[in-house]
Amino acid sequence: MEQIRISAKDLGALAMPGFCPRCFWITRHATKLPFQIFPGIFSSIDSYSKKITNRYYEGHRELVHWFAEQGLIGEPVKVPHHSKYNVLDEETGVLLTGMPDEILRLADGSYAILDYKTARFTAAQDAMHPVYDVQLNAYAYIGERLEFKPVSRLMLVYYEPVTDITVHDVDLLVHDHGFQLGFAGKTLEVARNTARIPGLLCKAREIVDLPRPPAGRADCADCRALNELLHLLAPAKD
């Protein structure tokens, strides 16, 4: 059986109410999809968020307040590089990969896994919760097969840009070479349910192994856009 690689976030797509098997098949078989650009600034903000929580712990020997408010008492531990944070499912031949933003060793010896989202927690973010749920549980599934066992807590951390300012705030934010943008931390607990991960791996394998793309969801906007693109590229009839 040929080994295939699937990230924790990509696996989460299978849990969406509007999941489209055709789109999933295409994303797994296409070497590179067109029109996909991920701004690098978000990676920079993620990296900065991690530095904030870790440097705060180094200076105060306690976690940041928005973690402590959720009853998280412990310390950050080094998150393995994404090349090491993975596990091969022998039954399906799927290499499940991913890299949590934060792993905490709690006071009771268990672990908490956190994932950061640079976004406001809105209805749009709530709609993505099935993906994030699987993503965090996949991180836990991997972690417990490495050295992070048991995983007792899973949490989303939303870092919302603070854009409401008064004229009195400006002097504190503006300096000679630019200005500061603050972020408000909001946490959301995710239920631990790693038992669902093997079933999703099987489902992903079944779709990927199909020789041709399966039928798409009837109301899939991406399928409709793809069909329109193929129509535009089709050779004109004489």
Per-residue pLDDT at 119: 83
Has residue 125 got a pLDDT over 90?
no
pLDDT at res. 148:
96
**How far is residue 131's CA from residue 15's CA, in Å, rounded to a whole number?**
6
C-beta separation of 143 from 100 below 8 A = yes
| Structure tokens given for 63 | 């976690």
- Average pLDDT score over residue span 112-132: 85
Backbone angles phi, psi at 234, to 5 degrees: -65, 140
Alpha-carbon gap, residue 238 to 236, rounded angstroms: 7
Share of the chain above pLDDT 90, in %: 67
For the ranges 103-112, 197-206, 220-229, the lowest mean pLDDT is seen at 220-229
From CA 56, how far away is CA 54, in angstroms rounded? Answer: 5
With bands split at pLDDT 50, 70 and 90, how would you rate the model's confidence at 123? low
CB 132 within 8 A of CB 43: no
Q: Stretch 74-97: mean pLDDT, rounded?
A: 95
- What's the one-letter identity of residue 139? Y
pLDDT band at residue 55 using 50, 70 and 90 as cut-offs: very high
Express each pLDDT in 166-216 by its tens digit.
Answer: 988 898 899 999 999 889 988 999 999 999 999 999 999 999 999 999 999
Place 122 in a pLDDT band, splitting at 50, 70 and 90: confident
Q: Is 167 helix (H, G, I), strand (E, B) or coil?
A: coil
Mean pLDDT of the chain: 91
Confidence of residue 234 (pLDDT cuts 50, 70, 90): confident
Which DSSP category does 215 fall into?
P
The CATH fold assigned to 4-233 is Lambda Exonuclease; Chain A (3.90.320)
Structure tokens at 234: 């089709």
Q: Residue ranges of the domains in the chain?
A: 4-233
What pLDDT, on a 0 to 100 scale, did the predictor assign at position 124? 62
- The pLDDT, as a whole number, for residue 101 is 94
Cα 166–Cα 169–Cα 172 angle in degrees, nearest 5: 165
